[in-house]
Every structure is written in C-alpha cells, then in structure tokens.
Amino acid sequence: MEMEKIKQLLRGFRPNPYFVLCWVFILLLASSIWAWRKNPVTNEVFTEVPKIVTKVKYVRVPVAGGKIQALEKEEVVKQIPGLPETIINDDKIQITSTGKIAPYEGQTHVVNVLDVETGVSNILAKQVPLGFFGLDRNRAVGFRALMHTSGNPQADIFVEWGLIRLGRVNIELYGEGNIRLGDNIITEGKAGIQGKIKF
C-alpha cells in the first residue's frame, strides 16, 4: 500500500530537467573538489626509501680537490618544503642532488651516483615494467549527467571496483543506477563486470 502511494507521488512529480542537471553538476563539482582535497599521496613526509641492494662495502676514493658538490640548503628548502629539521640544521649532512620522479603505476628504481673526478652526484631513475598479471586497486565513484536525443535528461551514479590486471586490460566490477526524466520517470540499475584498456 505504501509503495503504491510512493509510485503515485513519483508519477505526479515533474521536476524541471535543467534544475536536475544543475544539481548533478553541483554534485560532480563537489565530489571532484573533495577528491582533490583528500590528496591521494600515500607518503607526505620525507622518509628513507627501502634499499634495493643491502650488501655494502666502504671504499676510500679520492675526490677531486677533496670536495664534493653540495646544494645550498636554503635553496632546497625553498623549492622542496617539508625536509626534516635534522637534515636542515645538521652541517654534517649535506644534500648532493635532488630529483622529481614522474607518477607511475608500478615501481621506480633509483640510484644515486657520485663522480669522484668532479665531485658531482646525480640521481638515476628507471621504471620497472609491470608484469602481465597483477591486482587492480583502482576504485571510483562518479556521477554522469546526460541529455538524450528525445530532449529528456538522465542522471547516473556509478561505482567501479578494480579486480585484476591482465597486460593493459583492467577487469573491474561495475554498478550503475540511473534516473531518466520525461513523460514517465524511468529508474533502473545495472551491475556486472567490465574491462578497460589503458593507453
């Protein structure tokens, strides 16, 4: 009985399509700002990275002029905020090179190289290719605002949940709910598995 009343109310409900699209746009904007402010960076402070090679030996090497090139800490702090105070204030610790590593889905190997003839150090980085098979940890929630050729607007909410990756194909669970406005209000939902090819 209650369901019949709700259906009757919905049949009589005729919102302005542009009003609905405006609200969907506001939701899209608010969710994008929230996702941006959330900041998906996993490590926001400088930490020592795990070493690839742990077997070490100490070698005494003559450096040209007995000096190595060190960067001005004040300039480094201006360009790269957030360095630990122990590094900034300790004269026994010098910064010899800096670098910026591009985002990458896999791992990146980094090597710091010192030229003993010039005293200059550089950072070398190499991206490790992804294996053919891997876990897909991508997850997304989103909104869509559509306009059909009939002139009726539609609003969608969808969820994507990554499962596995085979080469460049990502296999995901997918769910969607939508509402289409017009002479009749049509609501429907879908769920399934989808594949995406990343370029």
- Of 142, 159, 151, 157, whose CA–CA distance to 188 is shortest? 157
d(CA 8, CA 4): 6
- Name the amino acid, one letter, at 140: A
Which of 86, 111, 127 is the C-terminal boundary of a domain? 127
- Asked if residue 45 is part of any domain, the answer here is no
Q: For residue range 52-79, what is the model confidence (pLDDT) as tens digits?
A: 766 766 667 676 667 777 888 888 888 8
Last residue of a domain, one of 127, 145, 177: 127
pLDDT digits (tens, 9 = 90+) for 145-180: 777 777 778 778 888 888 888 888 888 888 888 777
Residue 191 is predicted with a pLDDT of 83
Residue 140's domain comprises: 2-39+133-197
**pLDDT for residue 166:** 84
Nearest CA among 140, 139, 146 for reference residue 180: 146
Q: Is residue 167 part of a domain?
A: yes
- Reduced to 3 states (helix: H, G, I; strand: E, B; else coil), residue 188 is strand
Separation CA 178–CA 192 (nearest Å):
15
197 versus 50: the higher-pLDDT residue is 197
**Whole-number pLDDT of residue 62:** 73
Count of domains forming the chain: 2
The pLDDT of residue 174: 86
Please check whether residues 123 and 142 belong to one and the same domain. no
Residues 6-46: tens digit of each pLDDT: 666 656 555 565 666 667 677 767 766 776 666 555 555 66
Among the candidates 75, 101, 127, a domain finishes at 127
